[in-house]
């Protein structure tokens, strides 16, 4: 009996993955390779042709490992934003400059000063940063005008892979949102191009399509080089966080997702109503039409605990340090930690922000300090939810590497005052991309992946939550008290 599978591709910043899923959502096989390193000194960049070579190699591997099965579709998701450029011949102008590049901050500062940033952010529902396409292009005009003049098309990571797969250029609404979109009109805003001084890009952006639309079919030469069947349909796809929401089944307004990775992400599905200024964080059109995703991404997630393990714990085993922290009471012996070890970008932008302990005394112990770090990250995520005007749900989803700590899970539940469902099954974006591919091929798969990993639910302790409400107010007061010093640290 012939087995069928759908392929999901995830073009990540650090890793590129290809996975094969059954229609019931079972992950049959996954292959991955590190994404290429930056070749441009002091910049965050990737060679676009190398990304395609890696992707094609992964597809070939996947087909070879599943030679007794037949693929029925491909869906692609990937890192968003940055500047991915093609010339008139469809050839990369230069390496892609990524979303986390900060070289163009000067342009953003100028837009803030002139009021252009306010206008554009109001349109697209996103607080602009240096890693957006407009800022990077503006910097490119200054640094390499010959390259800037050759730009005929700007696209995103998944659009590039789709172009190489099908020969067709398109993007979806989730990737099109930032920075030129008008969420009220659901189209690109001429005003935004003009305000940012990049009107030349009006003809370079791609018209957005619905993520689950069929973009086309793989090219004959791709089929021959990868052994994929000719005529394999490919979906338009989505930005990685959008695909993750689809993969987790977070498609209804009110759904909230916390990602406790190296950096953290707080996101919520909302009705299609643009946020009201002042704009905090980012807004994306959800891959499923008729809803938005509000996302805030503080810079310090599990990386704060990694730092504490070395700086406070002396490199001792994390299990021992977390055991020490579990012996500390709620509130960590009245120690507060502001977890801004790498500056901060949400719920406020402060490149000069630093990590701060408040309340250390001669009676403070190592366990108190470790617990304060865990609580500080939890307070930061609560701060994002409050600042974004997101209604606290009765239950939310938690995933990411930091979600492996039972102590941290409970602290989050107690700090937020809601139940937390921990989903450690992984590869949610990959599954979401595969779902979009299935839909493009006309299949109606299950909406939830099957997994051997049992979801765990953590409920808030009322007494702990009451104490944390007071601690959170102290956290906000400490943050406000440090604002002036953080500003001075920028210079």
Q: pLDDT tens digits for the chain (491 residues)?
A: 679 999 999 999 999 999 999 988 899 999 999 999 999 888 999 999 999 999 999 999 999 999 999 999 999 999 999 999 999 999 999 999 999 898 998 999 999 999 999 999 999 999 999 999 999 999 999 999 999 999 999 999 999 999 999 999 999 999 999 999 999 999 999 999 999 999 999 999 999 999 999 999 999 999 999 999 999 999 999 999 999 999 999 999 999 999 998 889 999 999 999 999 989 899 999 999 999 999 999 988 999 999 999 999 999 999 999 999 999 999 999 999 999 998 888 898 787 899 999 999 999 999 999 999 999 999 999 999 999 888 899 999 999 888 889 999 999 999 999 999 998 777 999 999 999 999 999 987 655 544 444 579 999 999 999 999 999 999 999 999 999 999 888 65
Distance, CA of 163 to CA of 158 (rounded, Å): 9
Asked if the domains at 3-236 and 249-424+461-491 fall in one CATH topology, the answer is: yes
Question: What is the third-level CATH fold of 249-424+461-491?
Answer: Nucleotidyltransferase; domain 5 (3.30.420)
DSSP E strands in 314-459: the ranges are: 336-339, 355-358, 395-399, 419-422, 456-458
Q: 135-143 — which CB contacts under 8 Å span 24+ positions?
A: 135/104, 135/105, 135/107, 135/108, 136/82, 136/83, 136/97, 136/101, 136/103, 136/104, 137/83, 137/198, 137/201, 138/104, 138/107, 138/196, 138/197, 138/198, 139/103, 139/104, 139/106, 139/107, 140/83, 140/97
Break the chain into its structural domains and give their ranges.
Answer: 3-236, 249-424+461-491
Strand partners, 285: 292
Q: Which residue has the tokens 């591997």?
A: 61
User: Between 3.60.40.10, 1.10.3720.10, 3.30.420.40, 3.40.50.720, what CATH number should domain 3-236 receive?
Assistant: 3.30.420.40
> For residue 68, what are the contacts with CB-CB under 8 A and spacing of at least 6?
3
**Stated pTM of the model:** 0.91
Degrees to nearest 5, angle at CA 279 with 276 and 282 = 110
10, 32 contact by CB (below 8 A): no
């Amino acid at each position: 009996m012939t087995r069928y599978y759908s392929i999901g591709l995830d073009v990540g910043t650090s890793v590129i993955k290809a996975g094969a899923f059954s229609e019931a959502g079972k992950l049959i096989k996954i292959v991955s390779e590190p994404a290429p390193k930056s070749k441009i000194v002091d910049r965050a960049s990737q060679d676009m042709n190398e990304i395609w070579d890696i992707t094609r190699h992964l597809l070939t591997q996947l087909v070879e490992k599943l030679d007794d099965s037949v693929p029925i579709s491909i869906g692609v998701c990937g890192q968003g934003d940055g500047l991915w450029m093609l010339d008139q011949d469809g050839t990369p102008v230069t390496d892609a400059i990524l979303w986390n590049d900060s070289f163009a901050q000067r342009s953003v500062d100028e837009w803030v000063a002139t009021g252009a940033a306010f206008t554009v952010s109001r349109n697209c529902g996103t607080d602009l940063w240096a890693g957006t396409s407009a800022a990077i292009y503006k910097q490119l005009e200054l640094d390499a005008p010959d390259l800037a003049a050759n730009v005929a098309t700007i696209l995103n990571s998944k659009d590039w892979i789709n172009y190489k797969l099908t020969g067709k250029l398109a993007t979806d609404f989730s990737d099109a949102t930032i920075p030129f979109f008008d969420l009220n009109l659901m189209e690109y805003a001429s005003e935004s191009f003009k305000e940012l001084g990049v009107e030349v890009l009006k003809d370079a952006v791609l018209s957005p399509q619905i993520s689950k639309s069929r973009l086309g079919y793989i090219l004959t030469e791709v089929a021959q080089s990868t052994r994929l069947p000719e005529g394999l349909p490919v979906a338009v796809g989505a930005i990685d966080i959008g695909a993750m929401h689809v993969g987790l089944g977070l498609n209804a307004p009110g759904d909230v997702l916390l990602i406790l990775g190296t950096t953290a992400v707080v996101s919520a599905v909302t009705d299609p109503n643009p946020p009201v200024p002042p704009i905090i964080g980012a807004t994306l059109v959800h891959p499923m039409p008729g809803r938005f995703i509000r996302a805030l991404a503080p810079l310090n997630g599990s990386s704060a605990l990694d730092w504490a393990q070395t700086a406070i714990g002396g490199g001792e085993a994390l299990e021992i340090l977390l055991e020490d922290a579990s012996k500390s009471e709620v509130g960590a012996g009245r120690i507060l930690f502001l977890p801004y070890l790498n500056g901060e970008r949400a719920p406020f932008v402060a490149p000069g922000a630093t990590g701060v302990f408040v309340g250390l005394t001669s009676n403070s112990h190592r366990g108190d300090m470790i617990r304060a770090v865990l609580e500080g990250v939890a307070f930061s995520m609560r701060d994002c939810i409050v600042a974004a005007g997101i209604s606290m749900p009765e239950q939310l989803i938690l995933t990411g590497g930091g979600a492996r700590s039972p102590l941290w899970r409970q602290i989050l539940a107690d700090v937020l005052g809601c139940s937390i469902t921990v989903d450690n099954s992984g590869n949610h974006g990959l599954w979401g991309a595969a779902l979009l591919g299935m839909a493009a091929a006309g299949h109606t798969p299950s909406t939830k992946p099957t997994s051997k990993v049992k979801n765990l639910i953590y409920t808030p302790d009322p007494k702990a939550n009451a104490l944390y409400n007071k601690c959170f107010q102290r956290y906000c007061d400490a943050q406000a008290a440090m604002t002036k010093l953080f500003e001075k640290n920028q210079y």
